[in-house]
């Protein structure tokens, strides 16, 4: 009987266009429920898809610090998130979830 070979799924291998990256990030924002580390990990997936070295350069960060910030094991500073979003060509947006008046 032949053995089945299983490899770990890497979403970064499937994010090819800016539109796919934006859709993935939007979905992650909706699923995060305030989990900053989860959002950082999603940005890390997109950064790997785009090329971590180039993203680090465009964000003005070292490659090593970018990997650490976007590992999903910590909550990076908000200014780091903003720098990475800019480097990735993405932006945040706000939407009212219900009227408070």
Q: Where are the alpha helices (DSSP H) in the chain?
A: 18-32, 36-50, 52-59, 63-69, 78-88
- pLDDT above 90: percentage of residues in the chain: 74
Rounded CA gap, 18 and 23, in Å? 9
pLDDT band at 100 (very low <50, low <70, confident <90, very high): low
- Residues in Cβ contact with 95 at an 8 Å cutoff, skipping those fewer than 6 apart: none
Burial class (CB in 10 A: 0-12, 13-18, 19+), 97: exposed
Task: Confirm if 71 and 39 have CB atoms less than 8 A apart.
Answer: no
What does the pLDDT look like over 62-86, one tens digit per residue? Answer: 999 999 999 989 889 999 999 999 9
């Amino acid at each position: 009987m032949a053995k089945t070979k299983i490899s770990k799924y890497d979403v970064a291998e499937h994010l090819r266009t800016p539109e796919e990256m934006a859709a993935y990030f939007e979905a992650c924002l909706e699923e995060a429920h305030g989990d900053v580390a989860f959002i950082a990990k999603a940005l890390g997936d997109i950064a790997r898809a785009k090329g971590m070295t180039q993203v680090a350069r465009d964000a003005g960060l070292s490659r090593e610090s970018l990997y650490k910030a976007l590992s999903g094991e910590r909550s990076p500073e908000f200014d780091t998130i903003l720098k990475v979003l800019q480097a990735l060509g993405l932006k945040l947006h706000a939407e009212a979830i219900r009227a408070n008046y």
